[in-house]
Amino acid sequence: MSNKITVYEKPTCSKCREVDKILRESGSEYEKINYYVQPLNEKKLRELLKKMNMPARQLLRTTESIYKELQLGKREADEDELIQLMVKHPDLIQRPIVEKGSKAVLGRPVENIREILD
């Protein structure tokens, strides 16, 4: 399993910038992927959710306008639908997601990434 660290981010996100700083200060080598430029496909999103041991609903950004437009807080949606919506609308995805080998964590709070660094 690879020990390469990959950060899925939106560069303008403050938490993403905090994670970047922590990784730089730790001396870790890592790759940043702006998932607005290189979108996550369904297979990769499912893989990341599995590595985080997280249901899709927990990864949703509930304050985004698209979340409200799709009425995701007012209706039931299964895993498949939520994943497809996140692939179609990257604004729905919490960030940053930090992946290393068989593990991934959501960098909210940013201290979560310590699990990846240890």
52-79 pLDDT tens trace: 999 999 999 999 999 999 999 999 999 9
Looking at the DSSP assignment, which residues form a beta bridge with residue 8?
A: 33, 97
State residue 117's pLDDT score.
85
77: number of CA atoms within 13 Å, CB side?
20
pLDDT at 18: 96
Pairing of strands 30-34, 103-106: unpaired
CB 56 within 8 A of CB 82: yes
Domain extents in the chain: 5-117
Of 6, 13, 33, 84, which residue is the catalytic one?
Answer: 13
Q: Of all helices (H) and strands (E), which one includes residue 9? A: strand 5-9
Active site residue 16: no
What pLDDT does residue 70 have?
A: 96
Domain covering 5-117, topology = Glutaredoxin (3.40.30)
